[in-house]
Structure 1
């Protein structure tokens, strides 16, 4: 199974388009915290392959942490960038997502010759690219990027839990769960909430009334 998940990278490399990078993000749907985008170039040799890669959302936190360490140790290149809440508000999430993925891919060293991304292509790159439907479930380098992005963002939100006590960021990671909504309505938004989101605006009005 592990070898099969490298199929896209292998086919592109055989066509002279290697190295191939995968990119994905975490936090697009959250109403607090940054969007985090990651890009990874994996090494498709037996000793460089990583067992257990999958969509980060289908892995346990312990498995993601183990794989994060292995990815960042074995990858030919990896990068991770943050798009802060204020920039997400200014750009809108669709553009923030594109810019985050583009920045992560452009930071890779060595630079890729082809980019694979989850769901949709990223314009404005100096190399060709392809968006794969459910790419984080079928393509090794996108799976790896999804894990790096998710683990990085979860660690950021755990740090924010200490900085902004009472919101429960370590648990819900900034997503609009029932517990988060209740605390947001009671405490009002803090500095890492995305003020363009309807539930955050509503909580602002509620606290001010």
Structure 2
């Protein structure tokens, strides 16, 4: 695994060795307990890091700065792909499996197969090109940072839309992460269809309120133990299954969305 510190020139080194085009891949929303997981892949022109002076890990930017960088990346990127995966799929497969699969989909969504893929944090098997995981890659590699911004801005805008549908949770503020305000709203109103019912905090509240998941759920060991304790008896994941939530089962490629 490549260590992030001091490797801002990694993409340039690969380009100089004719190993490009180099695609960076990152996600947004892995730790949230509501809303979709969004994964992006991005290919920048060689040397474009110098033309994107604000480019860095999306979490280090203000919302206004992220929007500026988002627009500049879309204008300058050679190629990009954004995959939006609904909470129902996260619940059915588990977050890690979904994250890996989302990264594969994002790379496959590029118009041209990259010569090399750089992923943020961990190895992704099954990619169509050689790949290297980069620790803190969104702070170290320009194309990963660009993918981070694309994923984060896309997800934040989706969460703002979900706030209009479910205003009592405050999705526009916390974006589905487990803040104190979100936890209080979850306990009061119970989980919605866009919550991740496989997550321990959501599963525990649902069990306490007697709510049934609206789709298939694969509980983690921690969630299963918590729910069992809450109900005072052993439980198993529900067999209830519904179709994919089409609001989130969307991929975008080169700026055009396809369902």
TM bucket normalised to smaller = over 0.9
Contact 1:6 1:44 in 2 (8 A): no
Bigger drift between 191-200 and 42-51 goes to: 42-51
Q: Secondary structure at the match of 2:201?
A: helix
Q: Secondary structure at the match of 2:9?
A: helix
After superposition, residues 168-207 of structure 1 pair within 5 angstroms as 168-207=170-209
2:77 to 55, 59, 75: 75
C-alpha separation between the residues in 2 aligned to 1:196 and 1:112?
Answer: 34
C-alpha separation between the residues in 1 aligned to 2:119 and 2:79?
Answer: 16
Contact 1:33 1:193 in 2 (8 A): yes
1:140 to 139, 142, 146: 142
* Cα offset, 1:195, TM superposition: 0.5
Q: Which residue of 2 aligns with 1:160?
A: 162
C-alpha separation between the residues in 2 aligned to 1:184 and 1:143?
Answer: 32
* Cα offset, 1:165, TM superposition: 1.7
**What whole-Å deviation, never above 9, does each CA across 1:11-42 have from its counterpart, x for those lacking one?**
11122211000000000000000000001000
Unaligned regions of 5+ residues in structure 1, if any? none
Q: Which residue of 2 aligns with 1:85?
A: 87
C-alpha separation between the residues in 2 aligned to 1:48 and 1:102?
Answer: 28
The TM-score normalised by the length of structure 2 is 0.76
* Cα offset, 1:90, TM superposition: 1.2
Contact 1:114 1:127 in 2 (8 A): yes
Q: Tell me how large the CA RMSD over aligned residues is.
A: 1.6
Bigger drift between 195-204 and 48-57 goes to: 48-57
How many matched pairs? 206
* Cα offset, 1:158, TM superposition: 0.2
C-alpha separation between the residues in 1 aligned to 2:24 and 2:199?
Answer: 29
Contact 2:55 2:142 in 1 (8 A): yes
After superposition, residues 89-104 of structure 1 pair within 5 angstroms as 89-104=91-106
Q: Which residue of 2 aligns with 1:56?
A: 58
Q: Which residue of 2 aligns with 1:110?
A: 112
C-alpha separation between the residues in 2 aligned to 1:176 and 1:37?
Answer: 20
The TM-score normalised by the length of structure 1 is 0.94
Unaligned regions of 5+ residues in structure 2, if any? 1-5, 212-259
The structure with the largest alpha-carbon Rg is: 2
* Cα offset, 1:207, TM superposition: 2.4
After superposition, residues 22-33 of structure 1 pair within 5 angstroms as 22-33=24-35
Contact 2:49 2:142 in 1 (8 A): no
Structure with the larger helix share: 1
* Cα offset, 1:197, TM superposition: 0.8
* Cα offset, 1:184, TM superposition: 0.4
Contact 1:112 1:127 in 2 (8 A): yes
Q: Secondary structure at the match of 2:178?
A: coil
